[in-house]
Structure 1
């Protein structure tokens, strides 16, 4: 059966990140993407102009509609919208026995704030139910660091793109702190990286939903993002979207 991936996240009107990037990613990786939209944003490559939060009961109704009919093999959580939604989603998903990937979205690539302090505080509930949490380095620092995230009992994928230097290290840690995978690659010098975090987390969820071991799903997600950066269509006047439509090039065609 095709992997059924439920994505709980916000919408990006520019098509580069959020639900739009999630659907493209899951589709490209052979899954069926389903959505529970938490917020509608008016944004482009220059920034976020407006955010309209979806009421908590409507977010839950979307989740219930999907779970009760189509079924779910994995869940990806992105922009959550509010502390109330975070807590309600955590309660609803706790009964699901499927892999959950939590991408703790706080700041857009453009620098726009996408989560207030109350929402970030509520992230602890989501980290407790997640198989893996996928922060970039600034988000990891805001969550208290590696040990603080691992203390909630899940795996941690550290996305290294925000570090300094010509080489990027993406790392996967087990709940006990053991590093179980690392991919190292040359830094890709480009402004067109909008949607990389959403894409990585959705690619990871697609792999887990298909039954891949977590280390294999992690490595495939990293390589998918790197190739999507190289395939960016260079749209817009700011941080442009990456290119998800990558054709049938084998994943081992790009050095990790």
Structure 2
């Protein structure tokens, strides 16, 4: 559903990504791990269209989207979240979701349609999908960090994406909220969406991922099933530290 083929990204004299090839199928979750500075977020930015690669190409459902903007890719069925929460804090949870639904409409000017064009049932349906039913009237700034992460997921799902990129969705989330977010992401994958997730919580990655991709110094060090990757001596030396 989404793939990188020989992707490289150079900034000045620094090679941030070097010949990275990775695919994510519909209904598959690929966990992307690696040390800080390995190029994980850079890869997500290239896949989503925030950054254009210096070499290689990005595909979405077989089509080359390397030259498409992030907006075009979003309208083609690609959604993403960011490391830092990106919400309208002065609006309610329901209003944030409503804007996401309006933005996913067929017209580029759809966000400026009347708010009543989005059924309240659609907003509540998305909030319930991320276990936030009944919070439509709560201001985004008053939500817990875990609640904010769930709201971002609801907004990402508003466009009914075929592929979803998650950049550290558990960052800063309390331990009690991690399990809830894990279950939600697993349900999204099980619904047939292709999910690529950068995450530092190893127990989350190993418990959720169908495959794990390890980036190291901008290159793909290993790709495989979780038990295969954790048993790889190169991965242990570069990232995990000791045999698991």
Q: Same fold (TM over 0.5)?
A: no
TM-score, length of structure 2 as denominator length: 0.35
TM-score, length of structure 1 as denominator length: 0.34
